[in-house]
Amino acid sequence: MTINERLYKLCQDKAAAVTVDTISIGLGYTAVQTSDGGLGLAYTYLENKTGCSVRKNDFNFESKPAILLLEKIRQPDPLEKSMALALVNALNHAEALTLPEDPKNEVLFDHFEIMPGTRVSMVGYFGPLIKTLENKGAVLEIIDEQRGLGAQDTFKAQLSDWTDVLILTSTSLLNDSTDAILKRLGPNARTVLLGPSTPMIAAAFKDLPVHMLAGAVPVKAGEIFQGVRFGMGTPVLLRSCLKKYLTLP
């Protein structure tokens, strides 16, 4: 069962009990708020845009049962997955708020014992982390398709026998690459799933080589929706979020 299938099953009861209040699809992120006040973010995954429309249908999910949007988490369309993943995070909002904070990523670096010579594979370009990793003397390999960074074949081959720590963008849930990447990991590699899209739900990653979830839980709905509408990215939206983490067995 894929991670997205797990997320569907874990969230379906909650989704059946609420409706979707508001959806905003921005150029950078998508935000969803549910009728019970839950609020969630996910990266807006846009494939090659060829016209003025980016959605394939005009169905309006607002004021509808949230289960209808949740279904899209297991469908192939990455943009509708973006809305569904934001919904997942909205459905889990109350639980995520109870998790401990790591505003400066200090817990993350301590937990994975990043030190000189630690071999770190990074899927997705996390600019703020790169300088810290370099200062700690880690050996860093980065792949980011949208930025044209890294050679996929070489990077994937290294996961099985080179990587000590994998920093994996939660955006990978939107293009269905998370499961394939995790399957390539060597037995001693440790993984953190990172970014505002991260679903902070431990059960979704049971028996998988994921050792920490590091996400952003929005707390100021007005600022979040304004930032999304204005096409703002992670640095701006994080001002209206709490950086939370969850360690996994």
Q: How far apart are CA 199 and CA 219, in angstroms?
A: 16
- Residue 57 confidence class, pLDDT cut points 50, 70, 90: confident
Task: Kindly calculate the radius of gyration of the chain based on its CA atoms and give it in whole angstroms.
Answer: 17
Q: Residues 240, 219: contact at Cβ < 8 Å?
A: yes
Task: Evaluate if residue 48 carries a pLDDT over 80.
Answer: no
Q: Is 114 exposed, middle or buried (0-12, 13-18, 19+ CB in 10 A)?
A: buried
Task: Evaluate if residue 55 carries a pLDDT over 90.
Answer: no
Which residue from 81, 109, 95 is spatially nearest to 25, judged by alpha carbons?
81
Could you report the per-residue pLDDT of 8-42, keeping only the tens digit for each?
Answer: 999 999 999 999 999 999 999 999 999 999 999 99
pLDDT at 35: 98
Task: Evaluate if residue 47 carries a pLDDT over 80.
Answer: no
Residue 143 three-state SS: strand
**Which domains occur in the chain, in start order?**
3-97 (3.30.390.100), 106-215+243-247 (3.40.50.11590)
Q: Residues 248, 202: contact at Cβ < 8 Å?
A: yes
Q: What is the dihedral of CA 214, 218, 223, 228, to 10 degrees?
A: 60
**Minimum mean pLDDT among 9-13, 66-70, 126-130, 199-203: which range?**
126-130
Could you report the per-residue pLDDT of 88-131, keeping only the tens digit for each?
Answer: 999 999 999 999 999 999 999 999 999 999 999 999 999 989 99
Task: Evaluate if residue 44 carries a pLDDT over 80.
Answer: yes
Task: Evaluate if residue 86 carries a pLDDT over 70.
Answer: yes
pLDDT at 204: 98
Q: Is 22 exposed, middle or buried (0-12, 13-18, 19+ CB in 10 A)?
A: middle
Could you report the per-residue pLDDT of 129-174, keeping only the tens digit for each?
Answer: 999 999 999 999 999 987 888 888 889 899 999 999 999 999 999 9
Supply the mean pLDDT for the chain: 95
Q: At what angle do helices 78-91 and 3-17 cross, to 10 degrees?
A: 60
- Residue 51 confidence class, pLDDT cut points 50, 70, 90: low
- Residue 50 confidence class, pLDDT cut points 50, 70, 90: low
